[in-house]
Chain A
């Protein structure tokens, strides 16, 4: 598990139990220095907008873990906005879904989601998947940034 100083994961999940368990998984996997937990879709856009000020890209999260069902602005809408905003479109987004209902997953991919995790009932597998997912995207992002930095 690679953790760097400025690894930030943005978790958007309104169910407090799920959020607690997911953050526990991140902690145990020592994935990131910072986990930001937001509870609704509208808050995401605000947070990201503020992150743009002054310091530029540095404050964007490295991975966004986004639940499909959210109050105020639902997950797919947030995904769409993130992927159509020049600043945020390159931030990998992992969707959290509670069911395998295909239409949701297909829609998410169509809007540009990078991956998805189904929230199963039993947690150990979930925990492992979450940490694997998270570290994969973190590493990927870091490599890309490094390559871009070389240019």
Chain B
């Protein structure tokens, strides 16, 4: 270009052009900046999107886990089902065994009793009809025959009662044990009116259980106490509740002959014979019955004794109602 003066028309045009270009450039920059800002916003959005994608992945995992949890649950449910079936099977087997026992007991009571009844009945009849004709020996034989039948009868009855206790359904209710101890003691004493026994009765808590069964327990324990004190001057029978023994236990104490502690664990065995049992006319099943009943009530029964001084029988149960 030729040298121009600043004020020549070409220079002026140049300057204008330059200005225009600058302006344009400035506008352009502004636009570019605005556009960049928008892009930045977009990029920000993209970053947020990416973060969202991560969250999505986590949620995906969550979904998988919940599916895992679902299948774990199904497995658990299947196990529960299987267990329920197992319970049913055992129940069925138990029922079968119980039926066998029932048939057994039922038939024993029928098939064994019948011939025994015949023996007893006919020997009786012979005694009645031929009493003058019979000599001493004959009468003695017939008496012995009847005694033996009597023995067998008691044994059979005891065994049947024991078996029945194991099979019977329990009817539970709240039992006033104070009242029951009282009643049973008087019942037992009514059988032995000539005996003079002091009855010491400390208050006992009520319990929840089968009333008939507990009545049997008290009858057996109190009858035993009465028997053990036979021949004892100043016989005393104490009943009460010892709160500090094994979390709380009812007791029946007597000051009778007691028993040798060596045999303590045999006392409640079903078919253990202690000399005591026969000596005191029992059939050996009474205490076994007590043990059975207490066991069915979730408790325990045991006894301590000092030979010649007395015995104490304790029992616990899971249904004691503390006031």
Q: CB atoms of A and B under 8 A apart anywhere in the complex?
A: yes
Does B109 lie at the interface of the complex (its beta carbon under 8 Å from any beta carbon of A)?
yes
Ordered by A's residue number, 6 sampled pairs between the chains whose C-beta atoms are within 8 Å are: A17-B121, A24-B125, A120-B113, A121-B120, A122-B150, A126-B121
Binding site for A on B (CB under 8 A): 106, 109-110, 113-118, 120-122, 124-125, 146, 149-150, 152-153, 156, 160
Cα–Cα, bound, A17→B113 (Å): 12
Give the chain B neighbours of A123 by CB distance below 8 A: 117, 120-121, 124
A119 touches B106 (CB 8 A): no
A94-151 interface (Cβ within 8 A of B): 98-99, 101, 119-124, 126
Per DSSP, are chain A's interface residues mostly helix, strand or loop, or mixed? Answer: loop
Cα–Cα distance between A122 and B114 once the two chains are bound (Å): 10
CB-based contact B110/A99 at 8 Å: yes
Residues from 60 to 95 in A contacting B, C-beta threshold 8 Å: 69
Set of chain A residues within 8 Å of B116, measured between Cβ atoms = 121
Give residues in A with beta carbon < 8 Å to B.
15, 17-18, 21, 24, 69, 98-99, 101, 119-124, 126
User: Are A122 and B153 in touch, CB under 8 angstroms?
Assistant: yes
Contact A99 B106 (CB under 8 A): yes
Using Cβ atoms and an 8 Å threshold, which residues of chain A touch B156? 121
Contact residue among B106, B122, B146 (Cβ-Cβ distance under 8 Å from A122): B146
Q: Are B110 and A121 in contact (CB under 8 A)?
A: no
CB distance from B169 to the nearest CB of A (A): 11
Closest to B157 in A: A121
Tell me whether A101 and B106 are in contact in the complex, defined as CB-CB below 8 angstroms, given that A121-B153, A122-B149, A122-B150 are known contacts: yes
Task: Give Cα distance in the complex from A101 to B108, angstroms.
Answer: 12
Q: Which residues of A contact B153 (CB under 8 A)?
A: 120-122
